[in-house]
Amino acid sequence: MIRGGKSFVSSPPAFSNDAKKLLVCTGNTVSIFSTSTGLQITELGGHTALVTSVIVVPASTPASKILCYCWTASLDGTIRYWDFSVPELMKTINIRFPIHSMVIPELSGQQPESNDKPPHLFAYLSAVDVKEQEHRPNASSGQIRKCNLTESRLAGGVILAETWKPEIITSSPSGKYFGIRDKRKLRIWEVPTKDSARAVYKKITLHHTKSFTTFAFHPTHRILAAGDVTGRILIWRSFGRRTFSDCDPIINGGPSTNDDERPGGRRDDDADSCSTWHWHSAEVKVLFFSSDGAYLYSGGKEGVLVVWQLDTGKKRFLPRIGSPLLYYLNSPDPSLSSISCADNQIHFLKMPSMEILKSISGIKLPGSVPEVCKGLYSGFVFDYTGGQVAVCAENYCIQLYSLLDDCEVSEVQVCERNLQLGDEVTVMVNLVALSLDGSTMSTIETRLPEDGIGGLVSLKFWTCGSQTKEFSLSTVIYEPHRDAGVSGIGFHPTRHMAVSSSYGGDFKIWVRSHEVLQKDQMLPMTGWTCHAVGSYKKKPMTAATFSADGSVLAVAAETVITLWDPQRNVLVAVIGESIEPIVTLSFVGKSDYLVSASQGSNSQVSVWSMSKLCASWSYKLHTEAVASTVDDSCFAVLALLPKSSKSMESNENTIQGTDGVILLFNVGDPVPASTWFVRKAKGGGLAFIKISPRSPEDITDGKPGQTLLAYINDDHEYVLFSPYGEQVHDYVTHPRSHFGIDETEQFGYATIYGELPEFNLKRNQTTEVSFVPSERPWETIFSGSSHNLPPLTKLCSMFLESLLEKRTAIVE
């Protein structure tokens, strides 16, 4: 079982103390990446649900910088304590409430401990009271609770606040304050200096007329910045002067003024002044103060990182990051920081210059699709032999993602257009298909019309270079089916032939044509041209596929299946009459059966016998995807569970959250061979993937290639498993395990001149033994008459050279 495709941006990441590692919450695990290589080092696995927070225990002294401890909190209701260098689980605290956010203010503001007994460590959690929710579903469910980490229990009965839904807690870098945003309010608490389970909390509330989206505390001063949904950034200075007055007056930001002169601030808010900055056009997602407090970083949907000089309000920009920003993080190393983007990428920035050093790219997350073309959209396709999945990304790219290595392989820019974040999606890549051997890709991109004018559908064929493995554009076809949308593309299994079916009522067969090799041209010109056009009673064509040997083309004409001879473009037979339009067609391997799936209120999965041209058996199932093996006679169906059965099962409380089921059928047998329950099946996909042995030992062992079933869910998380219950062989050599932490830091001489080469004395000795002076030039160079001799300068060097023992060069 291979899992992957996790989101890297579900929760903010955390840097280790030496800024060489980045801890990223990836689903149920925390993955640790090297900041210098951008590759995964190791993984902390143990949580059983989504990890929501990771907090690295900061180093109080320079010596403890190498300490690698962290706290993690998860939706499974546990807080865990890890040594992530090993990696090893050290402690688990179970509080039985799903934790959505956790802060430990004391950690960041920890003083060096002098007494033997350290004070108790408290964490503040944003949790959901599950029981409460069940009794009163309308009540506010989020709670801010306190947890004693030293004693591993919740501080009894302390509920600081209740919110409508669980909120993200933000704590100040100094560890003095923490707070939450609650719609149009900010609630700020001061952490008591002597914290205990029964400490009294002072709190203030700041108000605004718009909903807040994020906020941040200044590292040293009492300044707070908050962003709202309209893109404004509000900055409160000296907040809580009245309430938190027992603080050190020196760090009270700015000179204290009269209560009457508080520009911008609301009368009842406890802050000296409030100023507003407005640059962002959409909501502010990221706010972060630089570690010295001089700059404020902000970002949002536009994908532009804005650096504000705090005193003057001057701006600098890092534009065209290419995706909405989600989190920004400073590292302990002042020259390094990271930004997390909504397209599942984390970029490391070199700080003052804001250059992107490295990127960690995860699988692209599904983009938003406009309602108009919901039906046309299929976001991904599997490569049968290559073990890859091609995902349509929002920035008009196709990302090729290796399922086995769980990393990005390449990205193909399909549509050359500048991405405008924040605008409505009007241009998108909505269909992608790969040929069976993975050498050819075809994509459909759609430009939506504005008020009925200017819409365009274009079909593109891409070929894969034999050496580079990069796809390059081969042919562009504008409006392949006039202005009608394309419902599906299928490739011929053996030949260079493809079929595209359209809602406009026709299908076209495309063939690759080689043009003659010109004398001065290096490569033969290849292009895809239309070979044949077919239609059946002007009905919309909804799906098309070739049979395993390529001799039959099946095209679904709404509710019936038409069978064609692709070479001669002749209608061979028409079968079936389903109730709803067929959306998927698939020939089952080498057997003479065809599976069709229709969607609608009476959705159906049917198996048709090609030899008898009639239905073999059918089920009433709401299918999301159908996958059939290439050389076997079974197929798998991803079906959505009906609402009634789901509620029944959730009562049983055994399989929570599952909404889909994968059924594996043998063609001849209507009873499923195996069944798996899955989550987030809506919009998911299914495919059989052939895994060939990678390493040479495996090939010599004679292990055959294995066929695995790949399931990808709506969030583009995937799992590979053997459908026959076999153990998945270790074909997958986890390359990430080989990436150790980067080499030890060089110092002194080595930093300037590099490392001295190591002399292998042993080898030198062995070669010296074998050294025999083979020629003796001194015997010959002086022979002959004196006027024939070469000049003395030449002779002398030759002579001396011959006397010296030459060390033969060692070939390293």
Partner 1 sequence: MAENKTAIAKTFPVKPKLKPASNKSTPTPESKYWKSFKQPKETPTQTLISSITSLSFSPTQPHDFAATHSATVTIFSAQTLEPKSTIAAFSDTATSAIFRSDGRLLAAGDLSGSVRIFDVKSRVPLRHLRGHSRPVRVVRYPKADKLHLFSGGDDAIVKYWDVTTETQIFDLIGHKDYVRCGDVCPVNDDMFVSGSYDHKIKLWDIRVSSSGSVMEINHGKPVEDVIYLPSGGLIATAGGNSVKIWDVIGGGRLLHSMESHNKTVTSICVGKIGKESGEEAQQYRVLSVSLDGYMKVFDYAKFKITHSMRFPNPLLSIGFSPDCSTRVIGTSNGTLYVGKRKVKENIEGELGEFSGFGAVEEAPKRALRPSYFRYFHRGQNEKPVEGDYLIMRPKKVKVAEHDKLLKKFRHKEALVSALNGKNPENIVAVMEELVARKKLLKCVSNLDTEEIGLLLRFLQRYSTTPRYAGLLMGLAKKVVEMRAEDVRGSEELRGHIRNLKRTVEEEIRLQQSLQEIQGIISPLLRIAARR
424 binds partner 1 (CB under 8 A): yes
Nearest distance, CB of residue 452 and partner 1, angstroms: 6
476 binds partner 1 (CB under 8 A): yes
Interface with partner 1 by CB under 8 A: which range of 68-76, 150-158, 423-431, 666-674?
A: 423-431
Interface with partner 1 by CB under 8 A: which range of 46-54, 240-248, 422-430, 727-735?
A: 422-430
List 243, 291, 426, 674, residue binding partner 1 (CB under 8 A): 426
List 193, 196, 518, 675, residue binding partner 1 (CB under 8 A): 518
Residues in contact with 711: Cβ distance below 8 Å, sequence separation at least 6, in sequence order: 638, 662, 676, 678, 684, 685, 686, 718, 719, 721
Nearest distance, CB of residue 525 and partner 1, angstroms: 8
Of 226 and 429, CB closest to partner 1? 429
C-beta atoms surrounding 347 within 10 Å: 23
List 64, 420, 751, 808, residue binding partner 1 (CB under 8 A): 420
Residues in contact with 272: Cβ distance below 8 Å, sequence separation at least 6, in sequence order: 236, 237, 238, 239, 241, 253, 254, 256, 257, 262, 265
418 binds partner 1 (CB under 8 A): yes
Q: Mapping DSSP to helix (H, G, I), strand (E, B) and coil, where does residue 538 land?
A: coil
526 binds partner 1 (CB under 8 A): no
395 binds partner 1 (CB under 8 A): yes
List 88, 151, 479, 801, residue binding partner 1 (CB under 8 A): 479
- Name residues contacting partner 1, limited to 722-741 (CB under 8 A): none
478 binds partner 1 (CB under 8 A): yes
Q: Among 572, 562, 568, 564, which residue's Cα sits nearest to residue 542?
A: 562
416 binds partner 1 (CB under 8 A): yes
Of 306 and 689, CB closest to partner 1? 306
447 binds partner 1 (CB under 8 A): yes
Of 445 and 659, CB closest to partner 1? 445
38 binds partner 1 (CB under 8 A): yes
Strands in 570-668 per DSSP E? 570-575, 582-587, 593-598, 604-609, 614-619, 622-628, 634-640, 658-666
Of 455 and 550, CB closest to partner 1? 455
- Name residues contacting partner 1, limited to 655-714 (CB under 8 A): none
Nearest distance, CB of residue 343 and partner 1, angstroms: 10
321 binds partner 1 (CB under 8 A): yes
Residues in contact with 77: Cβ distance below 8 Å, sequence separation at least 6, in sequence order: 94, 95, 96, 97, 98, 99
Of 187 and 347, CB closest to partner 1? 347
Contact 475, 463 (CB under 8 A): no
Residues in contact with 539: Cβ distance below 8 Å, sequence separation at least 6, in sequence order: 505, 557, 558, 560
347 binds partner 1 (CB under 8 A): yes
Distances from the Cα of 710 to the Cαs of 94, 363, 381, 625, 734, in angstroms?
Answer: 34, 15, 11, 12, 18
Distances from the Cα of 655 to the Cαs of 129, 650, 677, 717, in angstroms?
Answer: 20, 7, 8, 18
355 binds partner 1 (CB under 8 A): yes
At 791, give phi and psi (nearest 5°): -60, 160
Nearest distance, CB of residue 729 and partner 1, angstroms: 31
List 6, 358, 364, 716, residue binding partner 1 (CB under 8 A): 358
508 binds partner 1 (CB under 8 A): no
Nearest distance, CB of residue 397 and partner 1, angstroms: 10
Per-residue tokens: 275: 């100023």
At 204, give phi and psi (nearest 5°): -130, 165
Per-residue tokens: 437: 């051997």
529 binds partner 1 (CB under 8 A): no
Of 188 and 407, CB closest to partner 1? 407
Q: Among 520, 634, 623, which residue's Cα sits nearest to residue 581?
A: 623
Under DSSP, the state recorded for 453 is B
Nearest distance, CB of residue 573 and partner 1, angstroms: 21
Contact 294, 309 (CB under 8 A): yes
How far is Cα 509 from Cα 490, in angstroms, rounded to an integer? 9
Strand 480-483 to strand 486-491: parallel, antiparallel, or no bridges (unpaired)?
A: unpaired
Of 399 and 623, CB closest to partner 1? 399
Q: Which amino acid is at 323?
A: S
743 binds partner 1 (CB under 8 A): no
Nearest distance, CB of residue 286 and partner 1, angstroms: 16
Of 229 and 448, CB closest to partner 1? 448
List 330, 345, 584, 603, residue binding partner 1 (CB under 8 A): 345
286 binds partner 1 (CB under 8 A): no
Quickly list H helices, 357-439.
none
Interface with partner 1 by CB under 8 A: which range of 192-200, 239-247, 475-483, 557-565?
A: 475-483
Distances from the Cα of 43 to the Cαs of 75, 270, 404, 493, in angstroms?
Answer: 18, 44, 16, 40
- Name residues contacting partner 1, limited to 582-621 (CB under 8 A): none
Nearest distance, CB of residue 489 and partner 1, angstroms: 20
Interface with partner 1 by CB under 8 A: which range of 443-451, 497-505, 689-697, 734-742?
A: 443-451
Interface with partner 1 by CB under 8 A: which range of 195-203, 267-275, 473-481, 764-772?
A: 473-481
Of 483 and 631, CB closest to partner 1? 483
359 binds partner 1 (CB under 8 A): yes
Of 35 and 52, CB closest to partner 1? 35
Task: Report the b/e string of 515-550 with b at 16+ CB within 10 A.
Answer: eeeeeeeeeeeeebeebbebbbeebbbbbbbbbbeb
Of 456 and 750, CB closest to partner 1? 456
453 binds partner 1 (CB under 8 A): yes
368 binds partner 1 (CB under 8 A): no
Residue 24: HSE in the Cβ half-sphere, 13 Å Cα cutoff: 32
How far is Cα 615 from Cα 619, in angstroms, rounded to an integer? 11
423 binds partner 1 (CB under 8 A): yes
Nearest distance, CB of residue 464 and partner 1, angstroms: 20
How far is Cα 568 from Cα 532, in angstroms, rounded to an integer? 8
Nearest distance, CB of residue 423 and partner 1, angstroms: 6
568 binds partner 1 (CB under 8 A): no
Of 484 and 613, CB closest to partner 1? 484
Beta strands across the sheet bearing 336-341? 325-330, 336-341, 345-350, 355-361
Cis peptide bond upstream of 493, omega within 30: no
Q: Which long-range contacts (CB under 8 A, 24 or more apart) does 680-683 make?
A: 680/713, 680/714, 680/715, 680/717, 681/624, 681/638, 681/639, 681/640, 681/641, 681/713, 681/714, 682/624, 682/640, 682/714, 683/366, 683/379, 683/624, 683/713, 683/714
Interface with partner 1 by CB under 8 A: which range of 2-10, 65-73, 368-376, 516-524?
A: 516-524
At 786, give phi and psi (nearest 5°): -70, -30
Q: Count of residues for the chain?
A: 812
List 168, 197, 357, 511, residue binding partner 1 (CB under 8 A): 357
Q: Secondary structure of 649-661 in the HEC alphabet?
A: HHHHCCCCCEEEE
C-beta atoms surrounding 255 within 10 Å: 7
Under DSSP, the state recorded for 35 is T
List 370, 449, 704, 740, residue binding partner 1 (CB under 8 A): 449
Nearest distance, CB of residue 674 and partner 1, angstroms: 41
Number of residues counted as binding partner 1 (CB under 8 A)? 40
356 binds partner 1 (CB under 8 A): yes
Task: Name the residues that contact partner 1, by CB under 8 A.
Answer: 38, 320-322, 345, 347, 355-359, 395, 413, 416-420, 423-424, 426-427, 447-456, 476, 478-479, 483, 518-521
